Structure 1
Amino acid sequence: MTPGLVIAAASSGTGKTTLMLGLLAALRARGVAVQPLKCGPDYIDPAFHAAAAGRSSVNLDAWAMTSAQIAALAARPADLIVTEGSMGLFDGVAVPGETGTGASADIAALMGWPVVLVIDASGQAQTAAAVALGLAQFRADVTVAGVVLNKIASPRHEALVRRGFESIGLPVLGVLPRAAGIELPSRHLGLVQAEETGELERLLSHAGEIVAEHCDLDAIMGCATAQEGELAPYKPVPPPGQRIALARDAAFSFVYPHLMEAWRAAGASILPFSPLADEAPDPSADVCWLPGGYPELHAGRLSGNRSFIEGVRNFAQTRPVHGECGGYMALGAGIVDAEGQRHEMLGLFGLETSFAKRKMHLGYRRADLMSPMPGFAVGHALRGHEFHYANILSQPDAPLARVVDPNGTEMPETGSIRVTPEGGRVTGTFFHLIAEASQ
Structure 2
Amino acid sequence: MAASLVISAPASGVGKTTLTLALARAWRNRGLKVQCFKSGPDYIDPAFHAAATGRASVNVDSWAMDRATIVHLVGRGTDADVVLAEGSMGLFDGVAARGVCGTGATADIAEMLGWPVLLVIDPSGQAQTAAAIAAGLRDYRAGLRLAGVVLNRVASPRHEDLVRRALADAGIAVFGALPRHAEISLPKRHLGLVQAEEQAEIGGLIDEAARFVAEHVDLDAVLRSAAAWSPEPAVKGLNVTPPGQRIALARDAAFSFVYPHMLEAWRAAGAEILPFSPLADETPDASADVCWLPGGYPELHAGKIAANAHFRGGLRAFAETRPVHGECGGYMVLGAGLTDADGIHHEMTGLLGLETSFAKRRMHLGYRLAELAAPMPGHQAGARLRGHEFHYSTIVAQPDTPLAVVHDATGAVIAETGSRRGQATGTFFHLIAEDR
How would you bin the TM-score normalised by the shorter chain?
Answer: over 0.9
- Find the counterpart in structure 2 of residue 367 from structure 1: 370
**Residue 296 of structure 2: aligned partner:** 293
Q: CA deviation at 1:169?
A: 1.3
1:29-108 to structure 2, matched below 5 A, reads 29-76=29-76, 77-108=79-110
Residue 243 of structure 2: SS of its match in structure 1? coil
Q: Secondary structure at the match of 1:157?
A: helix
Find the aligned partners of 1:235 and 1:386 in 2 and give their Cα distance: 21
Q: Which moved more, 1:323-332 or 1:222-231?
A: 222-231
Which residue pairs with 2:347 in the alignment?
Answer: 344
Q: Displacement, 1:179?
A: 3.6
Structure 2 counterpart of 1:304: 307
Match of 1:172, as an amino acid? Answer: V
The 1:261–1:325 alpha-carbon spacing in structure 2 relative to 1, beyond 3 Å, is same
Equivalent pair of 2:178/2:216 in contact (CA under 8 Å): yes
Distance in structure 1 (CA, Å) of the matches to 2:166 and 2:188: 33
Distance in structure 2 (CA, Å) of the matches to 1:328 and 1:55: 30
Q: CA 1:33/1:223 → structure 2, altered by over 3 Å: closer, same or farther?
A: same
Partner of 2:124: 122
CA deviations over 1:111-137 (Å, ceiling 9, x no partner)? 110000000011111211111000000
Q: More deviation in 222-231 or 136-145?
A: 222-231
Instruction: Report the counterpart of residue 332 of structure 1 in structure 2.
Output: 335
User: What is the number of equivalent residue pairs in this alignment?
Assistant: 433
Residue 165 of structure 1 and its aligned partner are, at CA, apart by 1.1
For the pair 1:426 / 2:424, whether they are aligned, the reply is yes
Stretches of structure 2 that go unaligned for 5 or more consecutive residues are: none
Deviation per residue, 1:299-357 (Å, 9 max, x gap): 00110101111111110000010000000000000000001110000000010000000
Kindly state the Cα deviation for residue 228 of structure 1 after the two structures are TM-superposed: 6.0
**For 2:238 and 2:272, how far apart are their aligned partners in 1?**
19
| Equivalent residue number for residue 382 of structure 1 | 385
> Residue 180 of structure 1: CA displacement?
6.0
Contact 1:60/1:73 (8 A) holds in 2: yes
Q: Deviation of residue 232 (structure 1)?
A: 2.7
Q: Mean Cα displacement is larger for which, 178-187 or 23-32?
A: 178-187
Correspondence for 1:422: none
How big is the shift at 1:400?
Answer: 0.5
Q: 1:270 aligns with which of 269, 273, 278?
A: 273
Cα distance in 2 for partners of 1:252, 1:282 equals 16
**How far is the alpha carbon of 1:408 from its aligned partner?**
0.8
Secondary structure of the residue that 2:211 maps to in structure 1?
helix
1:112 aligns with 2:114: yes
TM-superposed CA distance for 1:403, in Å, is 0.2
The alpha carbon displacement at 1:236 in A equals 2.2
Letter in 2 for 1:116: L
Structure 1 unaligned regions, length at least 5: 420-424
Query: Once the 2 structures are TM-superposed, how far is the Cα of residue 223 of structure 1 from its aligned partner?
Result: 2.2
Q: What's the offset of the Cα at 1:181?
A: 3.4
- Higher mean C-alpha displacement, 228-237 vs 162-171: 228-237
Tell me whether 154-163 or 366-375 shows the greater mean CA deviation. Answer: 154-163
CA contact (8 A) 1:180 1:210 kept: no
- Residue 182 in structure 1 maps to residue 180 in structure 2: no
The question of whether the paired residues in 2 share the 8 Å contact of 1:402 and 1:414 is answered with yes
The 1:357–1:216 alpha-carbon spacing in structure 2 relative to 1, beyond 3 Å, is: same
Report the 3-state secondary structure (helix = DSSP H, G, I; strand = E; otherwise coil) of the residue aligned with 1:271: strand
Runs of 4+ aligned structure 1 residues displaced above 6 Å come to none
In the alignment, the residues of structure 1 paired with residue 246 and residue 213 of structure 2 have an alpha-carbon distance, to the nearest angstrom, of 43
Question: In structure 2, the residue corresponding to 1:245 is in which secondary structure?
Answer: strand
Which of 193, 196, 201 is the equivalent residue of 2:195?
193
1:45 maps to a residue whose letter is D
In structure 2, what is the equivalent of residue 247 of structure 1? 250
Q: What amino acid is aligned across from residue 353 of structure 2 in structure 1?
A: G
What's the secondary structure of 1:249's corresponding residue?
coil
State the identity %.
65
> Does the C-alpha gap of structure 1 residues 415 and 285 become closer, same or farther in structure 2, counting only changes over 3 Å?
same
Return the alpha-carbon distance in structure 2 between the equivalents of residues 366 and 280 of structure 1. 31
**Residue equivalent to 2:218:** 216
Cα deviation, residue 360, structure 1: 0.5
